[in-house]
């Protein structure tokens, strides 16, 4: 479990100051630099602020889109966003729940990795987990510029066939763009730009999977920001 006391003593105050600045329209990068320097935050803590905190109105809007998956749903999946999150957890990267309620990491693989067997294994576990939820169909989108994307797509198609879960895996120039175009079911991602753009509800598949299969718990920025 990610514990608040594993952070620096000034992190909580820095998070609240950062939110204060965002709520008053300050741009993110200068605001992170300002509070990071003031409270002497390290690189990881600054990244947690940057990736985990948005303005309060935006956080509320995103939380309103957060949904559980239910039987019969069609899932449109931001493939690398989901699978890299799982991989980063297994590799011991710093994970946390953002102010908007979505699971994120403090920076890690994001397009370059050498853990091929673990990646494919996690993809299989994730697909089998989705089958247990009773979803009707899944559609993975993978960014073709990512190394080995064609190989990953073949592996995902094979796993889908082996599990008997209806679905497909498509490589494309921009998975974000294609996922944003989904018109039915749920979107699976923790990417802020997709969450803000999609008209659909969003299932945080990585968080649900890790909590169910590994009993994972995470540092929660909403708790920190609402505390004394």
pLDDT digit string, tens, across residues 46-73: 999 999 999 999 999 999 999 998 899 9
* DSSP assignment of 23-55: HTT--HHHHHHHHHHHTT--HHHHHHHHHH---
**Cβ burial, residue 9 (10 Å; 0-12/13-18/19+):** exposed
Buried b / exposed e across 57-87, counting CB within 10 Å, b at 16+? ebbeebeebbeebeeebbbbbbbbbbbbbbb
Per residue in 66-107, pLDDT (tens digit) is 999 889 999 999 999 999 999 999 988 899 999 999 999 987
Contact between residue 111 and residue 146 where contact means Cβ atoms under 8 Å apart = yes
Give the separation between CA 35 and CA 87, rounded to whole angstroms. 30
DSSP letter for 203, please.
Answer: E
Per residue in 146-175, pLDDT (tens digit) is 988 999 999 999 999 999 999 999 999 999
Q: CB under 8 Å to 69, separation ≥6 — which residues?
A: 75, 130, 133, 135, 186, 203, 205, 208
pLDDT higher than threshold 80 for residue 225: yes
Give the separation between CA 187 and CA 196, rounded to whole angstroms. 12
């Amino acid at each position: 479990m990610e514990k608040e006391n594993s952070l620096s003593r000034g992190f909580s105050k820095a998070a609240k100051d950062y939110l204060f600045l965002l709520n008053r329209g300050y741009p993110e990068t200068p605001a992170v630099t300002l509070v990071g320097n003031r409270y002497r935050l390290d690189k990881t803590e600054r990244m947690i602020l940057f990736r985990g905190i948005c303005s309060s109105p935006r956080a509320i809007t995103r939380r309103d889109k957060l949904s559980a998956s239910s039987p019969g749903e069609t899932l449109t999946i931001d493939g690398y966003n989901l699978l890299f999150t799982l991989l980063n957890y297994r590799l011991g990267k710093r994970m946390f729940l953002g102010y908007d309620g979505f699971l994120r990491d403090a920076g890690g693989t994001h397009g370059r990795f050498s853990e091929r067997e673990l990646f494919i294994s996690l993809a299989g576990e994730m697909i089998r987990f989705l089958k247990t939820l009773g979803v009707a169909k899944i559609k993975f989108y993978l960014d073709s510029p990512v190394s080995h994307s064609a190989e990953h797509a073949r592996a995902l198609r094979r796993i889908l066939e082996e599990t008997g879960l209806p679905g497909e895996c498509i490589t494309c120039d921009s998975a974000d763009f294609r996922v944003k175009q989904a018109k039915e079911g749920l979107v699976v991602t923790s990417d802020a730009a997709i969450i803000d753009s999609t008209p659909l509800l969003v299932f945080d598949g990585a968080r649900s999977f890790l909590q169910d299969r590994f009993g994972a718990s995470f540092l929660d920025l909403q708790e920190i920001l609402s505390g004394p």
